[in-house]
Amino acid sequence: MSFEPSPRRVRALLNGVAVADSTEVKLLLEDGHLPVYYFPVKDVRMDLMEQTDKHTHCPRKGAASYWSVTVGDKTAEAAAWGYKDPIPDAKEIKDHIAFYWNKMDAWFEEDDEVYVHPRDPYKRVDVLNSSRHIRVVVDGETVAETNRARLLFETGLPTRYYIPKSDARLELLEPTDTSSRCPYKGEASYWNVRIGESVHEDIVWAYREPIPENPRIENLLCFFNEKVEIYVDGVKEETPSTAWS
């Protein structure tokens, strides 16, 4: 567990109002948890906060108190928390307040909106061109095959193979209404794969408009390694075990 000062201006908005706005946030990095921004109390609109009866205890940080946040006619219940008397190892978050990301309407780092959670400064996402032969198999059927993939390497995750649509059997793909957001890549759209009467739901995705930091995956298809067979230069990749397995 570490607390690191961030040089970024960070804002949390509810109902169009910045309930927290700071250039002195601290980023909590904790094993097994997503990064969390902690705002100095002086940079939080405490006039919009109402303390609740909710309390929790963390063995690494201490006893937490919670606040609801109200802006106009909108209230986010128990959306913020802080540690009045944190344990010694967490003393840096005394007089700081954190917010549940999904209970706010929007978050900004400087003037760019960010999604899902703060980006970990120690996490890398690299995209490389590859001429290796990539083949994706579902139920024994080849659904994509290419020597023009772009390989995405993301810290802590399996290699993802992004494939041009012209190298996939699009007649086997069915678009769905599913979408997801990634703070490192953007908003993804999904497809099912239909093989005969068998439908494999939401195992293909693409970023139609990735964030500016990752333009090289735009409109390329990617299959969940966990749910398909992937062959690289004729050798079957080991199926990874992840949260998407």
DSSP, collapsed to helix, strand or coil, labels residue 101 as helix
The residue out of 114, 148, 182 marking a domain boundary is: 114
Question: pLDDT confidence of 192, banded at 50, 70, 90?
Answer: very high
Spatial distance between the Cα atoms of 121 and 5, rounded to a whole number of angstroms: 11
Containing structural domain, residue 95: 2-114
Residue 31: predicted pLDDT: 85
Q: For the chain, what is the domain count?
A: 2
233: left (phi over 0), alpha (psi -120 to 50) or beta: left
User: Based on the domain organization, do 165 and 208 belong to the same domain?
Assistant: yes
The residue out of 58, 88, 114 marking a domain boundary is: 114
User: Based on the domain organization, do 70 and 144 belong to the same domain?
Assistant: no
pLDDT at 184 over 90: yes
Residue 67: predicted pLDDT: 98
User: Based on the domain organization, do 106 and 17 belong to the same domain?
Assistant: yes
Domain of 229, CATH number, reads 2.170.150.40
For residue 95, being part of any structural domain is answered with yes
User: Based on the domain organization, do 141 and 223 belong to the same domain?
Assistant: yes
The residue out of 81, 114, 147 marking a domain boundary is: 114
For residue 217, being part of any structural domain is answered with yes
For residue 157, being part of any structural domain is answered with yes
Q: Which residues pair with 134 in a beta bridge?
A: 146, 232
User: Based on the domain organization, do 98 and 8 belong to the same domain?
Assistant: yes
Residue 96: predicted pLDDT: 97
User: Based on the domain organization, do 109 and 132 belong to the same domain?
Assistant: no
For residue 189, being part of any structural domain is answered with yes
Percentage of the chain surpassing pLDDT 70? 100
Q: What is the largest CA-CA distance in the chain?
A: 63
**Gap between the terminal Cα atoms of the chain:** 27
Residue 127: predicted pLDDT: 96
Instruction: Read off the pTM.
Output: 0.79
Dihedral over alpha carbons 229, 231, 236, 238 (to 10 degrees)? -60
Higher pLDDT, 90 or 167: 167
User: Based on the domain organization, do 173 and 223 belong to the same domain?
Assistant: yes
User: Based on the domain organization, do 141 and 80 belong to the same domain?
Assistant: no
User: Based on the domain organization, do 135 and 86 belong to the same domain?
Assistant: no
User: Based on the domain organization, do 133 and 215 belong to the same domain?
Assistant: yes
For residue 59, being part of any structural domain is answered with yes
